[in-house]
Structure 1
Amino acid sequence: MRVRSFEISGVHEFTPKSFPDHRGLFVAPFQESAFLEAVGHPLRLAQTNHSVSARNVIRGVHFADVPPGQAKYVYCPQGSLIDVVVDIRVGSPTFGQWAAAKLDSTEYRALYTAEGLGHAFLALEDDTVLAYLCSTPFNPSAEHGIAPLDAELGLPWEHYLSGEPVLSEKDRAAPTLAEAAELGLLPAYETCQARYAELREQHAARS
């Protein structure tokens, strides 16, 4: 498993080795040993999600209140997409910056998004599937969104769109990053760092 960390803390890309043969292919997109080494604590698995999207569908930017927040480990078992993580943690040295990676069913790369970060993606072809491993269950009262077309964020959709973007009404009506900050919706960087430290301490106590 090859691991790449981004400038935004809490974002890691994992590229597993694939084993093709005459029958097809075998690959392990999530491997706990590599995850532990990169992140410093295990991924608590509370829920798995599965989305199917048509070409030009954008989902996100989504995030959850911290604590506890919701960390996500995502990979694409069918099709291809551009996965984007946005640092929305107020006080972070990389606040407002984003990182992007192409996930597809050729290399089976995965992207980890820690608690307090925003997550979005753009499907590059029809019937694109995203598989999510989530650290906490869905909690509607704690879930929020930021407009994926926020001009000030400048997310890279225009480089990959082959037509008009397709968004849910909820995502289309979401506030910009600046508006979300004014509304007090965004997590604090210090709170997120405390949450990460707590998870590492819990792991150390069990080891």
Structure 2
Amino acid sequence: MSTAPSHAFSAVETEAVYRAIAERRDMRHFRPGAVDPAVLQRLLWAAHQAPSVGYMQPWRFVRVTDDALRGALRALVEEERLATARALGEREDAFMRLKVEGMGEAGEVLVVALADGRERHVFGRRTLPEMDLASVACAIQNMWLAARAEGLGMGWVSLFDPARVAALLGMPEGAKPVAILCLGHVDAFYPKPMLELESWAERVPLAGLIGENGWPAA
């Protein structure tokens, strides 16, 4: 006799959800090829289904299809990559060996931004104003999982100056870009997160992150 909650998905459906979570990767290697417009629309739909604090829906998406504009955006990323490398000190050389973006090969490049006028939304943000960013992160994760289920790779690039990207894309005052998403076809998904494969970092054990009635024990 099944003990699954009455509202649970079927076993196959549940397994698919957990598989998408487990196999999602921050991709940096793409092969050329356009993304089917219908698939792209489904991924954006998935992003737009994300939860948002106070139902503010603060996400905005800019699809970058102009080659010159994409090149200018990539130049800003490269500038910040070099600055980040210098700031890392003794890990500079190791960082410079990492591939941090796939903007030149990905079929789609999208910039995700926080909308302007967010100060109007007080519900859920009076003491935690950063919940607008948390809401956008949920939208990006929805899109990421949907992309994995569709067999497409996606990578989140965060090496850029938000003000300069906002100016480049003509965003209104108060809007703030938070992610450059590379989306496209891949030859294979990494067997582990790329930074684990490159020995940059390892996933910490879950047990050490969970506390009961207080902060997790060290």
- TM-score, normalised with respect to structure 2: 0.27
More strand by share: 1
- TM-score, normalised with respect to structure 1: 0.28
